[in-house]
Amino acid sequence: MKLNILTAAVLTSGLAMAATGANAGMTTDRNGNVGYDTYDECVMAVKDGSAKFYTPYTYQNPMRRTGEVSVAKMSLSEVMIPQSVVNNNNLRTSDYEAGACDMGVGQSNGRYGVSGALVGKYVPFASDMPVNVYMDRNGNPVRVTMQQCDNHFGSNFPTPVISEVKAPEAQLAIQEERSMEAVVIETKRTIRPTQYQVSEVIIAPSDQVQRVNTAAGTRVAVETADGRTVYVGQEADAQAIRNTDINQTYPVIRVPDNNMQNNMQQRIIDPNTGRTIIVE
């Protein structure tokens, strides 16, 4: 029997110690508001529903500071923290959807913060708490205070609590079948002979030579002295001239001429000297 009584006593003592440990990090002021030793403890209380959110107990009208041109009244959840504030303070969210856990501060700049017992503690603030939002001339929020008392937070924007993130829906993985095919590009090339044969040579002033575009390509027309236009074919380019086989006989026609037949020449190669000879 003594063992049973002793065991019961130890169990009772253990439960009392556990209850004391659970509330060891929480402080309550004379107005019933609470604060926690650490930010994580405050967040845990907010998320498990055990937190008692701060309730103002004084009344003060809004008081603008330098650079603040207007004051908007809204709930804390309607406030969006400027991105510059998020970046400068390494915040993990820019909204107050889950409220705030902010370090309590005392009086400054003509306004109170929280009660003395909660200064330095992390105080939970509800997402639907009415607040004053001070705006600059561009309508950007620059400071937030408690609406009823105009008391300030630990900084211009209280530290937000990160809301519970819903797990994203599973994404259906779609595998695409892709086939790789070799693409063969055929290139047609026209190989011209390295040696050209000349049927005739026409010598004419440049102002009597015209180039004409035809279905078969560009052709050269020469106007003769009697007013006739003769199509003489394709004009020889520099490459063709360099590769012309002149070891042959071909007529040379001069234009203008009243009688083309009288001025026909024969250009031949002297086999003894290798020089070109024009015979009229």
* pLDDT exceeds 80 at position 222: no
Per-residue model confidence (pLDDT) at position 72? 96
* pLDDT exceeds 80 at position 218: no
With H, G, I as helix, E, B as strand and everything else as coil, classify residue 264: coil
* pLDDT exceeds 60 at position 220: yes
pLDDT, tens digit (0-9, with 9 covering 90-100), for 101-132: 999 999 999 999 999 999 999 999 999 999 99
* pLDDT exceeds 70 at position 178: no
Per-residue model confidence (pLDDT) at position 183? 53
Q: Is residue 122 packed enough to be buried (19+ CB in 10 Å), middle (13-18) or exposed (0-12)?
A: buried
Average pLDDT over residues 195-209: 69
pLDDT, tens digit (0-9, with 9 covering 90-100), for 231-241: 666 666 666 66
Among 13-27, 72-86, 140-154, 207-221, which stretch is predicted with the lowest mean pLDDT? 13-27
Distances (CA, A) of 90 to 86, 94, 123: 6, 10, 20
Is the pTM higher than 0.75? The answer reads no
Beta-bridge mates of residue 75? 130
**CA-atom Rg of the chain in angstroms:** 51
pLDDT, tens digit (0-9, with 9 covering 90-100), for 29-68: 999 999 999 999 999 999 999 999 999 999 999 999 999 9
Q: What is the mean pLDDT of the chain?
A: 76
- Backbone φ/ψ region at 18: left (φ over 0), alpha (ψ -120 to 50), beta: alpha
φ, ψ at 260 (rounded to 5°)? -65, -30
How far out from the chain centre does Cα 110 lie?
Answer: 46
- Four-residue CA torsion sign, 71, 31, 43, 88: positive
Q: For residue 2, how many other CB atoms are within 10 A of its CB?
A: 6
First to last CA, the chain: 153
Q: For residue 86, how many other CB atoms are within 10 A of its CB?
A: 17
Beta-bridge mates of residue 276? 269
Amino acid at 223: E
Distances (CA, A) of 158 to 18, 38, 173: 32, 15, 42
Per-residue model confidence (pLDDT) at position 189? 47
Residue 276 to residue 260: CA distance in whole angstroms: 22
